[in-house]
Amino acid sequence: MNKIVSRFGEIEYDPSSVLNFPDGLIGFEDLHEFVVMPNEKEGPLFWIQSVEDPQVALVLTDPTNFFLDYNVAPEAGESSKIGLKEDDDYFALVVVTVHPDRKITLNLAAPILFAPQSNKAIQVILENSGYDIQTPLPTVEEKTEAVSAQK
């Protein structure tokens, strides 16, 4: 087991479970190894912590928890880079940002494609997709009950 000290305190991790980003992440091109933090709370959000820079941790989520029609398929070069074979499972994840005003947005324009078989991931940019880098979480509108005049 290896150890790092981060905002989460001392973290022990198995080097064989490290998530590898061959190209790094946008804005963090020099960081290639991350660990997935244990999720202490129920919910769709989780953290990845850089092994190389203890100051860097990102919140991720599966965007289909909020946008059911979100679908991203890796291109051939992307599949090759993360060791994804034709019938392998993969996940499209997105970075979550919590702004100072507590507004939460998802970066749907630059998802992370993760291949669990290889434990590799790559962040891709979806050009001309119509997706935004700061897509607000959908709001749940309260349903108002119509008062029946027949009471």
CATH label, 2-136, candidates 2.40.50.1070, 2.30.290.10, 3.40.50.970, 3.90.1150.10: 2.30.290.10
* H or E, element range at 121: strand 120-123
| Contact status, residue 113 vs residue 91, Cβ threshold 8 Å | yes
Determine phi and psi for 95, rounding to 5 degrees.
-80, 135
Task: Provide the 10 A C-beta neighbour count for residue 139.
Answer: 6
According to the 3-state scheme, what is the secondary structure of 11-50?
A: EEECHHHCEECCCCECCECCCCEEEECCCCCCCCEEEEEE
Which parts of 41-134 fold into alpha helices (H)?
76-81
CA dist., res. 37 & res. 19, Å (int): 11
pLDDT of residue 141: 57
Domain ranges of the chain: 2-136
Show the low-confidence residues of the chain (pLDDT under 70).
140-151
pLDDT tens for 126-151 read: 998 899 999 998 876 544 444 444 44
Q: What's the pTM?
A: 0.86
pLDDT tens for 38-52 read: 877 888 999 999 999
pLDDT of residue 35: 96
Residues 6+ apart with CB under 8 A from 26: 110, 123, 125
